[in-house]
């Protein structure tokens, strides 16, 4: 079984991991080469130019300009290779894959001291994530308390999970197996216990696992229920902007700027609506800070996402347009808080 405690160069578990390893080995090779060169020269010069008798006075050595320019340019060039190689890899790792890539989108909530993960179909897991092999997996992560860091050393990925915003991380595992998951940011007493497993399965095994796992409501369905119970539809679509087709669209704000309606924008609007008022509307929405948990926030966003058909990740979307009153089996609306 692969393990981060074993030395596994070029293990070919994830494409990004291979690229990280290639850069790592390049840096190691250059470092070893230069260290050896320096040490060999030191030993050679110590012997070759040693003082041979008490009265010896060394002759003046002329400087060698071409040599000095040569090694300056050579090291500069090597540094530039390191810089661009590292920068390109970093950008590729940090840039979210295109929505068209058909990623398996997993919601992750970190809290002291566990990882809560949810599949698009509603299956929930704690400290363990089952995924199919050779499928792009995209994590949308938030924290309920302090900064955590979601790290899978075998895939060479690590991303801080920060309270108050979403961070994303993605990977494709190309080998089945069981891989360590770590929290890699000190987050309190039991930080070292905040560990788990990534189970990479064949697509068949994954489907069997999905089928055999109790399905809660999918995030979008839970979100629809929340949307209804908070009474959001009393305003949205009437005195507040309609949410159908909103996700991923550009929104024109009161101050004339535009913003893309992504998860962070929706999150901010739920918690602090006055921060970005849509043009033509007045700030009338109360803050839901403290009234919705991180998981409920993700659910609400999943629901709003499901109202933009191009962004439905997987699983059936709830059978609603912009009026949750048409959802079957949803409890009646409570009064909106505030
Ligand atoms: Cu969570 Cu360390």
State pLDDT tens for residues 162-171.
988 889 899 9
Centre of ligand 1 to C-alpha 166, Å, is: 16
- Would you call 29 exposed, middle or buried from its count of C-beta atoms within 10 A (0-12, 13-18, 19+)? exposed
| DSSP letters for 19-64 | HHHHHHHHHHHHHHHHHHHHHHHHHHHHHHT---STT--PPPPPP-
Q: Is the pLDDT assigned to residue 316 strictly greater than 60? A: no
Q: Which atom of ligand 1 is nearest to the CA of 113?
A: 1
Tell me the average pLDDT across 309-331.
Answer: 43
Mean pLDDT of the chain: 82
Q: Is the pLDDT assigned to residue 184 strictly greater than 70? A: yes
Contact yes or no for 66/138 (Cβ under 8 A): no
- Look at 6 and 193; give whichever has higher pLDDT: 193
pLDDT of residue 11: 63
Residue 87 gets which letter from DSSP? H
Centre of ligand 1 to C-alpha 180, Å, is: 14
Q: Is the pLDDT assigned to residue 101 strictly greater than 70? A: no
Residue 316 gets which letter from DSSP? P
Contact yes or no for 161/153 (Cβ under 8 A): no
pLDDT of residue 71: 92
Query: What is the rounded CA–CA span in Å between residue 185 and residue 177?
Result: 25
- Which range of 102-106, 204-208, 243-247 scores highest in mean pLDDT? It is 204-208
Tell me the average pLDDT across 170-199.
Answer: 92
- Which range of 7-11, 151-155, 294-298 scores highest in mean pLDDT? It is 151-155
Q: Is the pLDDT assigned to residue 298 strictly greater than 70? A: yes
pLDDT in tens, 142-152: 998 899 999 99
Centre of ligand 1 to C-alpha 115, Å, is: 9
Q: Which atom of ligand 1 is nearest to the CA of 187?
A: 2
pLDDT of residue 4: 46
Q: Which atom of ligand 1 is nearest to the CA of 185?
A: 2
Centre of ligand 1 to C-alpha 186, Å, is: 5
pLDDT of residue 222: 81
Centre of ligand 1 to C-alpha 338, Å, is: 34
- Look at 218 and 87; give whichever has higher pLDDT: 87
Q: Which atom of ligand 1 is nearest to the CA of 148?
A: 1
Centre of ligand 1 to C-alpha 106, Å, is: 19
Question: What share of the chain in percent tops pLDDT 70?
Answer: 87
Centre of ligand 1 to C-alpha 194, Å, is: 6
**Which residues have CB under 8 Å from 278's CB, separation 6+?**
241, 251, 252, 253, 254
pLDDT of residue 224: 83
Question: pLDDT-based confidence at 332, cuts 50/70/90?
Answer: very low
Q: Is the pLDDT assigned to residue 309 strictly greater than 50? A: yes
Question: pLDDT-based confidence at 38, cuts 50/70/90?
Answer: very high
Q: Which atom of ligand 1 is nearest to the CA of 192?
A: 2
pLDDT of residue 240: 82
**Alpha-carbon distances, residue 163 vs 94, 102, 156 (angstroms):** 19, 27, 23
Question: pLDDT-based confidence at 185, cuts 50/70/90?
Answer: very high
pLDDT in tens, 233-284: 777 877 788 888 888 888 888 888 888 888 888 888 888 888 888 888 888 7
Tell me the average pLDDT across 123-144.
Answer: 91
Q: Which protein residues are within 6 Å of ligand 1, measured from CB?
A: 110, 113, 148, 183, 185-187, 191, 194
Query: What is the rounded CA–CA span in Å between residue 248 and residue 305?
Result: 8
Contact yes or no for 132/171 (Cβ under 8 A): no
Centre of ligand 1 to C-alpha 154, Å, is: 18
Q: Is the pLDDT assigned to residue 47 strictly greater than 60? A: yes
Atom 1 in ligand 1: which residue has the minimum CA distance? 148
Centre of ligand 1 to C-alpha 188, Å, is: 7
pLDDT in tens, 50-86: 888 888 888 888 889 999 999 999 999 999 999 999 9
pLDDT of residue 5: 46
Question: pLDDT-based confidence at 178, cuts 50/70/90?
Answer: very high
Backbone angles phi, psi at 192, to 5 degrees: -70, -15
């Amino acid at each position: 079984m692969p393990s981060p405690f074993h030395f596994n160069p070029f293990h070919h578990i994830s494409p990004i991991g291979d690229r990280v390893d290639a850069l790592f080995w390049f840096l190691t090779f250059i470092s070893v080469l230069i260290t050896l060169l320096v040490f060999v020269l030191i030993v050679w010069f110590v012997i070759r130019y040693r003082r041979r008798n008490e009265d010896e006075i060394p002759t003046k050595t002329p400087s060698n300009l071409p040599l000095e320019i040569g090694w300056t340019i050579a090291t500069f060039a090597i540094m530039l290779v390191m810089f661009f190689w590292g920068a390109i890899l970093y950008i590729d790792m940090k840039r979210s894959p295109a929505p068209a890539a058909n990623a398996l989108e997993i919601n992750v909530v970190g809290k002291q001291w566990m990882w809560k993960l949810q599949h698009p179909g509603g299956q929930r897991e704690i400290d363990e994530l089952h995924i199919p092999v050779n499928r792009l997996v995209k994590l949308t992560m938030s924290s309920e308390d302090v900064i955590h860091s979601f790290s899978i050393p075998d895939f060479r990925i690590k991303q801080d999970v920060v309270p108050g915003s979403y961070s994303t991380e993605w990977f494709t595992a190309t080998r089945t197996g069981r891989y360590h998951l770590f929290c890699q940011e000190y987050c309190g007493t039991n930080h070292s216990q905040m560990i788990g497993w990534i189970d990479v399965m064949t697509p068949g095994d994954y489907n069997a696992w999905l089928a055999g796992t109790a399905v809660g409501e999918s995030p979008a369905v839970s979100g629809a229920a929340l949307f209804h119970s908070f009474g959001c539809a009393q305003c949205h679509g009437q005195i507040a902007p309609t949410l159908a087709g909103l996700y991923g669209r550009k929104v024109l704000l009161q101050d004339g700027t535009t913003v893309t309606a992504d998860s962070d924008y929706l999150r901010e609007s739920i918690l602090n609506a006055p921060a970005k008022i849509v043009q033509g509307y007045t700030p009338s929405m109360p803050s839901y800070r403290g009234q919705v948990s991180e998981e409920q926030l993700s659910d609400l966003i999943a629901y709003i996402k499901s109202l933009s058909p191009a962004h439905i990740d997987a699983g059936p979307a709830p059978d609603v347009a912009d009026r949750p009153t048409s959802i079957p089996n949803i409890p009646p609306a409570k009064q909106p808080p505030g």
